[in-house]
Structure 1
Amino acid sequence: MPRWEPGARERLVVAAVDLFTEQGYDATTVAQIAERAGVTKSTFFRHFPDKRELLVAGQETLSRLLAEGIAEAPADAGPLDAVAAGLERAAGAMGPMNRELAPRLKAAVAASTELQERDALKSVSLAAAMTEALTARGVPDATAAVAGELGVLAFKRGYAAWSESDRGTDEALAPYVLTALAELRAASAALS
């Protein structure tokens, strides 16, 4: 097997999600993931410190894209409009592979307490990235925190709707997350 075959990271993620779904997270070994992906164990460890980290592959990129979108929103944009810009930027990085893996990943997470904990930490990290980007724009701390949390919730709800929609279409994720954010904005207005 070639030592530097392209796409190893993506193949590792797909192999892991498939194995987690087929036999459970706890029963899946790094060796099995590497074998299924057609790479060596050392290649696995060049990309991921352990099998748990496969769940959050791309988290740093996602956090960066959310923060960049918020930072680049028009100066007069309100906090949720800036979050919408961040969501739109991050959603643009999600493609067919993300959509295809989503149901299997959801099932794997639902079946593993350890993966549920890691998924929760991922949400906290994404909210923190958005909150930080909003406070850098001068948004007060409490407002930035609420807007960041709504952004994460909108992303999760939009991603779920997108991944469950008709796969025969080539729809982008962005409209789904923006619709979810609009629904959450309306729901939060009804709280007062």
Structure 2
Amino acid sequence: MPRSGAEARRRLRQAALELYRERGFDQTTAAEIATRAGVNERTFFRHFPDKREVLFDGEADLRAGLMRAVIEAPERLEPFEVLLCAFRKSARNLEESRPFSEPRWKIIAVTPALRERELAKHAWLTEAVAEALRQRGAGAGLADLAARTGWAAYQHAVQAWIDDPSKSLDAHLIRAFDNLHALSATVLSGQKREREVSS
């Protein structure tokens, strides 16, 4: 029996991950997770409201950390630079937790109920990033657009890192934001040419 709440929580997360991989999410119960973790079912529900949330543990901390990283980024930075700075900080934790994160992503990918929950998480985090940009003084429309676009680039980098772990997540992030910048420059260059032709 784990002696601390933190240890029980860690064991519940690990047990859930193992069982979801072995049996599938839908075929696993909270009671079975508790048994595998060496605790009773009441302990499970003291830590998690349902069996989905085991895979989303730490969400509030992630949100708070992202907002803090955005707000505390150097003042001279433009919104996309702010987001890259914040996401690079967040990526360090993700890289450290890869042994848990990678199988977690695979379980979510094949489970519709978890994909829906993951999308809700992404929307919540995107809004948090937009709010942090607004607190830095960005207009509401710009903050929302930057947050949505930046979050998409972040998710693209994470997927690239899963597919190609030979490069760090940090390297994939930098490349994603470089590509985003290049796409923006291409659009602006095209608009400039159109104006020159029409004038």
Q: What amino acid maps onto 1:33 in structure 2?
A: I
Determine the structure 2 residue equivalent to 1:101. Answer: 100
SS of 2:93's partner is coil
- 8 A contact 1:134–1:144 mirrored in 2: yes
Q: Does 1:133 align with 2:132?
A: yes
Determine the structure 2 residue equivalent to 1:89. Answer: 89
Instruction: Tell me the CA shift for residue 32 of structure 1.
Output: 1.3
- The structure in which a higher percent of residues are helix is 2
Q: Does 1:23 align with 2:5?
A: no
Task: Calculate the TM-score normalised by the size of structure 1.
Answer: 0.86
Determine the structure 1 residue equivalent to 2:71. Answer: 71
Gaps of at least 5 residues in structure 1 are none
Looking at both structures, which has the greater relative contact order when contacts are Cα pairs under 8 Å and sequence separation is at least 6?
A: 1
RMSD (CA atoms): 2.1
Gaps of at least 5 residues in structure 2 are 189-199
Q: What amino acid maps onto 2:79 in structure 1?
A: P
Q: Does 1:162 align with 2:161?
A: yes
- Name the count of aligned residue pairs: 188
- Structure number with greater Rg is 2
Residue 14 to residue 156, structure 1, CA distance change in 2 (3 Å): farther
- 8 A contact 1:162–1:176 mirrored in 2: yes
**Partner Cα separation in structure 1 for residue 14 and residue 163 of structure 2:** 18
Instruction: Tell me the CA shift for residue 64 of structure 1.
Output: 1.2
**Partner Cα separation in structure 2 for residue 162 and residue 37 of structure 1:** 30
Instruction: Tell me the CA shift for residue 81 of structure 1.
Output: 0.8
Moved more, 23-32 or 84-93: 84-93
Map Cα deviations across residues 22-66 of structure 1 (whole Å, 9 max, x no partner): 211111101111222222222222221111112221111111111
Q: Does 1:185 align with 2:181?
A: yes
